[in-house]
Structure 1
Amino acid sequence: MVSARRKALEKLWRGKCDVIGWGEVEDPITHVTTHGEVMLHENLKCKLSHEKLTSASSTGGPAIVTKQIKLSLGNEYDIPAGCKIIVTQDNVTAEYTRSGEPGVFMDHQEIVLDLFKGWA
């Protein structure tokens, strides 16, 4: 059962995401098993947010500005580290990867993302 808080949160989630892992894939015709991309979750409701982080330089130089990208989605989904997460929000699609442990809350989870640069 989805709580009223969760329903309210989902009204703010205007994105969709696909979660893709790396694993064994069997060719349906030849039945040969190889390694490749495996769809773990598809078309999940989500929200992508960006936060600027500014830190002072210890050498007295200019401040360093970085951007933290965070994905909010339902806490019932297991998103493994290192998987590819394709997010479409506001007609923009980008590929990310999970960079840290998710923050799991009562009605959702928040995952810090990095840009996907390829499979490790």
Structure 2
Amino acid sequence: MVIEHSISKKDKVFIIFFCLFLFRIFCWIYEKNKRYWDCVEKKYTPYFDSKGNRIPKEGNVVYNSKLYKVFWEKGDNDDLRCKGKWYLTEDTLGPVYLNILLEDAVKDESGKIKIYKDRMGEEI
């Protein structure tokens, strides 16, 4: 007696629809996540502190035992090759007189730049 291991037409149609359904769900999840990640703004600068932690955008850091705020200053013109730079400034309400280039502060090993955290351990 020969036993045939063939799939009926009904089962083939079911398998095809099931595979298409799974593919459609996968595409829907992919598009949903893609739109979500496109909307998420990156929160960090491309620099790291002395402990190896990423420095957050518009965060506070301690450099040479003083508290500074990180900010971005755009370039002079709209040319794509002319990029802006990250700076450190004293977090005061008055005019800003002294800006330190974040790149220079990170390279300065004697200054030991660190991310400022409050007493609860959260970044400010």
Query: TM-score band, normalised by the shorter chain?
Result: under 0.3
Q: TM (normalized to structure 1)?
A: 0.28
Q: Which has the higher helix share?
A: 2
Give the strand-richer structure, 1 or 2.
Answer: 1
TM-score by length of 2: 0.27
